[in-house]
A and B are shown apart, each in its own frame.
Chain A
Amino acid sequence: MKHEQLVDQFDKTFSDKGSEEPDPQFLSDTEAVREWSYLRMAVEGVQEMGLYEQVESVKTQWMAQQAAAAVPQAGAVVRNISRIAMRVAACVLILAGGTAVYKYMSTSAGHIYSEYSQPYDLNTNRGVAAQDEMDEAYRNKNWTAVTELFKKKKDKNNKTYFLAGMAALESKNYDDAIGMFQQVIATNSQSGGDYFEDEAEFYLAMSWLARNEVKEAMPLLDKIRADKNHLYHDVVVRMSTLDLRIAQYKELK
């Protein structure tokens, strides 16, 4: 059979059926079957490329919209001001002598975390008795069980993500904890809700401090400090700003 005929037959089948099943009459012709297979690969490739370009086009449109909607950031200026402030703080420390040097040497993000972190009490904070295994494991401080139960849980929500995050934090798996708390915040951001939002923000900041990444924790701590209705406002207000700045300076050094 001529190749042109094969392609015509392929196109006819393609347009008629929306699929590319070979006509039974070709099945006895080994060469035709092989060529048919190549035709299918070629068309599959064209369709894949078409879809890829369509998605790429929408992605570009979406990114352009995002860029246009973005509010001009003053981050660079703020950062510069912060750096100047930190340098001034460092100079003051040096001038203040031994006590200040000791203060400087002994201050770290990890130290701040240890001082201000607090266990999350499921019953106290939510006022609801634990109803399921994950709650029970959490109340028993069985962090491994909490993590395992979270993995098995089919209906994950902000609460389960948060408890899994707390279990990870308690187990010093800070990367996992950060991921879980960020998930809660991202979910609320999309849904417009606030379920476990305050808790996630505070413990996300704590997780960053535990990882000695003050730069990541600061925006969250500033937000909580500025919000008097935030559940953890009082805790954050008690934190020494100087300690945080020193830790941040040491991180940036």
Chain B
Amino acid sequence: MKVAGKFSDTELIAAIGEKESLNQAVLFLYQQYSQSTSSFIINYGGSQQDADDVFQETVLAFIGIVKKGNYRMEASIKTFLVSIARNIWRNELKKRQRSDLREKKFESGRDQQEGDVSSLITSLEEKKQLRELVGKLGEPCRKLLQLFYYENLSMKEIVDHLPYENEQVVRNKKYKCLQQLIAIIKENPSIALQLSEIVK
């Protein structure tokens, strides 16, 4: 297997913050931490699929925390990831309304670290809902908006990536796509209200 560059915790945090090295950092997270993190989920009643999904959400949450400068390296990355994963899984169990012995044991196994993490991942569910709303856009719109707002490409660069004639056409199309997305968000006022809290 191709091995991602070996990162110390400090280097990994720096790599997550750089667009060019983010893929390597994510691959490293998977290679180093997915197995041990997943074993916790499986031990607490999750399937392999659950463990995969939870770890993916964990990685997303971790990247978000790091990018906001909220990871203070008080615990090792591994410990921190496991705490995030356990929080996510506990929330998932609550959603599934499972209050069996496993969950009770799970609750009793919480420690301070997890309490701290819990406050950092409060908006995960809202972000997931937001992604679902973006997913309602057509592929061309989604792609165009991502190139501009996620990849940070200029209009000129986008002309090279997508089948549009010139920058003005891209600009007009991007405006319409953005309007379309905002309309989708407005159609879901309850979600919009929750989201307005996380983009403050």
A residues touching B (Cβ–Cβ < 8 Å)?
Answer: 3-4, 7, 14-15, 35, 37-59, 61-62, 65-66, 68-69, 151-152, 154, 156, 173, 175-176, 178-179, 182-183, 186-187, 189-190
Shortest distance between the CB of B58 and any CB in chain A (Å): 10
B149 pairs with A47, CB closer than 8 A: yes
Task: Indicate if the CB atoms of B130 and A182 lie closer than 8 Å.
Answer: no
Contacts A49-B142, A49-B146, A51-B63 known; A39 to B39 CB distance under 8 Å? no
Residues of B near any A CB (own CB < 8 A): 1-2, 22-23, 26-27, 30-32, 34-36, 39-40, 43-44, 52, 56, 59-60, 63-64, 75, 79, 102, 105, 109, 111-112, 127, 130-131, 133-135, 142, 145-146, 149-152, 175, 178-179, 181-182, 185-186, 192, 195-196, 198-199
CB distance from B175 to the nearest CB of A (A): 6
Cβ 8 A contact of A45, one of B35, B105, B130: B130
A-B residue pairs in contact (CB < 8 Å), sample of 20 = A4-B175, A35-B182, A41-B185, A41-B192, A42-B178, A44-B195, A46-B149, A46-B150, A47-B150, A49-B134, A49-B135, A51-B63, A51-B64, A51-B150, A55-B63, A57-B23, A58-B26, A62-B31, A151-B109, A189-B35
SS class, residues of chain B in contact with chain A: helix
Q: How close is A144's CB to chain B, nearest CB, in angstroms? A: 12
Q: Judge whether B60 and A51 touch: CB under 8 Å.
A: yes
Q: Are A48 and B149 touching (Cβ within 8 A)?
A: no
Complex CA–CA separation, A61 to B60 (angstroms): 16
CB atoms of B32 and A190 under 8 A apart: yes
Chain B, Cβ-Cβ closest to A10: B178
Cα separation A66 to B150 with both chains bound (whole Å)? 29
Our pick among A15, A66, A154, A187 for the contact of B36 (Cβ within 8 Å) is A187
Task: Please tell me if the beta carbons of B181 and A45 are within 8 angstroms of each other in the complex.
Answer: yes
Task: Indicate whether A41 sits within 8 Å of B39 (C-beta atoms), given known contacts A50-B146, A55-B26, A176-B109.
Answer: no
Q: Is the interface of A mostly helix, strand, loop or mixed?
A: helix
Q: Given A37-B196, A41-B192, verify A178-B63 contact (CB < 8 Å).
A: no
Q: Kindly list chain B residues whose C-beta atoms are within 8 Å of the C-beta of A59.
A: 26, 30, 52, 56
Q: List chain B residues, Cβ under 8 A from A62.
A: 27, 30-31, 34
* Given the contacts A46-B149, A54-B22, A186 and B35 also touching, CB distance less than 8 Å: yes
List 14 extra interface pairs beyond A47-B149, A50-B151, A55-B63, CB under 8 A.
Answer: A7-B178, A35-B182, A38-B185, A41-B182, A48-B127, A48-B134, A52-B131, A65-B1, A176-B105, A182-B43, A183-B39, A186-B35, A187-B36, A190-B36
Complex CA–CA separation, A40 to B197 (angstroms): 11
